[in-house]
A and B are shown apart, each in its own frame.
Chain A
């Protein structure tokens, strides 16, 4: 078989991994095949050996890159041997046969489904497995006597499908709610069809049927409509009751009011013999509303956002007990336990540091990503991420997922944003209800004292004013837009984000990781020191998350024993490596003669002076993107770095640049723009701008791995899609105009229908024709317009 070779945009021929399709910087070969890393090669070899070569039948190599596989701990699934840790994943277990639901975020294509449903070939003891691609779940049935959940998880990880056990237990709640919705739709559709059957003879006849038949048909209609009222429509009544209790009227309320009135009026008509009632309109309306709701839920599910939301949380931690080191589920941690927390792991409980010094990054708690130096005896708070080397900590109390989950409640990260969508619904709900009731009362007064006519007109107004089309317009439009954007690399947290995006007038960019990319290797130049010293410098740099340090550390051998590490934000890093004092940072901090060349960072090793310059490559096409955006928006650059690159960005951002901003400074910068009445979109990488992302009207995190979620952002954009930002913004604005158009159309339509209602001429036939048209028209119009616009405005 030939190596997977493809043509890149830059028209250079590059090698792409046979297994995962990623470009190969350092290709690994196996016969004719080329791989990006040894991990990919071994997965490929395993599959070939098992005769599972069909896995590669896709056009694009389907595998998951194994480049980071070596960094993962081999015993990370050991906790699953503990029944308490395994229990949340087991649906069923009788000792002979068991079934587990395992979340696997990496699932993405037909080949994934194919391979994971053949798990029984690779793992003895597995009976069968079933993939739910959209929810990212694999359901494995196995014989617990022959294999264990841990072995299955390890097997899946070895295939490149790392189970994400930190995701909160995949609840049975979603399918249960979905089944209920399907049942409601079934009942409403059934009733709707049958009621139409008994209503059409009356319409065709033009006059009431023979006495006996009309009576029978009316009663049958009432009988069919009852389950619709009691079961299918129950959610709206519950919603309306909620809005009444919280005194927060949304558009749900007039819908429930309309449904109540339409049913009550029909019952009255049938009971008094004054007409045949509106049961066909009633059941049809509920049916279409439910279809709209299903549509909305489906769109939500397509967003693979929430399922990775909690993936930061650790499941288990290593604990030293009686001289041995065990992996223990974090629920079992108690006060006094000695935990070993490795670099990049979260500290699961408040703890005291036993051996110092160390560094903790509290980015997820405070939004500040510069690691804080801690020494022995210091208290380390839960939620901190260990930077540098492994720390020994003594827990001060128990840990729990809920304690960690409460970190999300941190005001910086979770300050509730009032989205434009919520405003829309709230403002309209109250306004609409008041208007509809006022017109109904006015109509009743107009026809007074003709009691029968007053009642008919008032109820007709409330029936026709039922804002079904309005409740559908925004959710369907935004939901469709969300789905279309998601398919093109912009994953928004909720549909309201699209509406917020459409109102943006100012855009602030973070520099490092956003305008520049960390996915391509940085150019590291250095000089002034003997080669042996650079290993020490790299070893010290490896303990920092600063982009320059990271690039430096990755540029070569970074081994060495590091102690006494202190990092001072904005100044530099100092540490003792293999007995030598290493300083990296400003000239003043390192104590060497200042070097005036732009972008140079100073280094000293035991007083010997050196310099290093890291040039992080900019993203392809970012200049055109910023230029295009600046035509319609105010663009700003806000960076934590020194202003050495100011000249590079000057032509794009002009005076709208701010350098040397701390994370808090970035928040201030965004707030400052907002104080001037701007609606700000912040684009960052979420590393040291989490606070700014949260403070902005919309925060988008540019990520080179979309599985990595920044808690504070409203949306995640795939790094290579950042250049399409102008098109995305145009599309968001289009969504807004579609909603406005639908609102106007629907209001005009309602006004005409209201005219008919006020003259007392709203017959059941007129209602049966008018009401579904508006609902179907809105759903179809919204979805169609957004799909069509996506093809026109968005890159494929």
Chain B
């Protein structure tokens, strides 16, 4: 039965890992705005990509966290 103790420890570690991941996600701002990202996908298109390359080699950082 002592295998249960092992399972408890393992289970708690896994659960703790997920809790830590959640807390990290909150801390990094992923839950700050849950409304706008849903709209952001609606209007994306190829038009902007080709025109952004043509902007005099300027480095644009449009990566989103």
Q: Which A positions have Cβ atoms within 8 angstroms of B?
A: 51, 53-55, 57, 109-111, 113-114, 117-118, 120-121, 124, 127-128, 130-135, 141, 175, 178-179, 182-183, 186-187, 190, 193-194, 197, 213, 216, 220
Contact = CB atoms under 8 A, between A and B. Distances in A.
A124 B59 CA distance: 11
Contacts of B23: 183, 186
B61 A128 contact: yes
A118 B62 CA distance: 9
Given A186-B22, A194-B15, A121 B51 contact: yes
B35 A133 contact: yes
Contacts of B47: 51, 53-54
Interface string B51-65: 110010010111010
A179 B32 contact: yes
Nearest to B27: A179
A183 B26 contact: yes
B19 interface: yes
Contacts of A128: 60-62
Nearest to A107: B36
Contacts of A182: 26, 31
Nearest to B62: A128
A68 B33 CA distance: 31
Nearest to A114: B43
25 contacts: A53-B47, A54-B45, A54-B48, A55-B43, A57-B43, A110-B40, A111-B43, A113-B39, A113-B40, A121-B55, A128-B60, A128-B62, A132-B36, A133-B36, A133-B39, A134-B33, A175-B29, A175-B32, A183-B26, A186-B19, A186-B22, A190-B18, A190-B19, A194-B15, A213-B1
B42 A110 contact: yes
Contacts of B64: 130
Among B4, B23, B33, B48, the one with the most A-chain Cβ atoms within 10 Å of its Cβ is B33
A55 B42 CA distance: 11
SS class, residues of chain B in contact with chain A: helix
B52 A109 contact: no
Given A110-B43, A114-B43, A134-B35, A186 B60 contact: no
B39 A193 contact: no
A791 to B, nearest CB: 22
Nearest to A179: B26
Contacts of B35: 132-134
A55 B16 CA distance: 45
Contacts of A124: 58
Nearest to B31: A182
Interface residues of B, number: 36
A117 B47 CA distance: 14
A584 to B, nearest CB: 50
Closest A-B pairs by Cβ, 3 of them: A114-B43, A110-B39, A110-B42
A141 B62 CA distance: 10
A186 B20 CA distance: 9
B48 A118 contact: yes
Given A121-B48, A186-B23, A178 B60 contact: no
Nearest to B8: A220
Nearest to B28: A179
Contacts of B32: 132, 175, 178-179
B50 to A, nearest CB: 9
A179 B31 CA distance: 7
A709 B31 CA distance: 30
B15 A190 contact: yes
Contacts of A132: 32-33, 35-36
A185 to B, nearest CB: 9
Contacts of B22: 186, 190
Given A175-B29, A190-B22, 9 more contacts: A110-B39, A110-B43, A117-B62, A121-B52, A133-B35, A141-B61, A186-B26, A190-B19, A194-B12
A99 to B, nearest CB: 12
A175 B60 CA distance: 27
Contact of B15 (A51, A134, A178, A193): A193
Given A121-B48, A187-B19, A194-B12, A54 B43 contact: yes
B36 A197 contact: no
Contacts of A133: 33, 35-36, 39
Contacts of A54: 43, 45, 47-48
Nearest to A302: B35
Contacts of B4: 213
Contacts of B29: 175
A178 B48 CA distance: 34
Contacts of A193: 15
Nearest to A146: B58
B56 to A, nearest CB: 9
A113 B38 CA distance: 10
B51 A120 contact: no
Contacts of A190: 15-16, 18-19, 22
Contact of B62 (A109, A120, A183, A216): A120
Contacts of B8: 220
A524 B54 CA distance: 55
Contacts of B11: 194, 197
Contacts of B16: 190
Contacts of A114: 39-40, 42-44
Contacts of A127: 60-61
A183 B15 CA distance: 15
A211 B39 CA distance: 56
Contacts of B58: 124
Nearest to B26: A182
Contacts of B39: 109-110, 113-114, 133
A117 B15 contact: no
A135 B33 contact: yes
Nearest to B36: A133
A220 B12 CA distance: 10
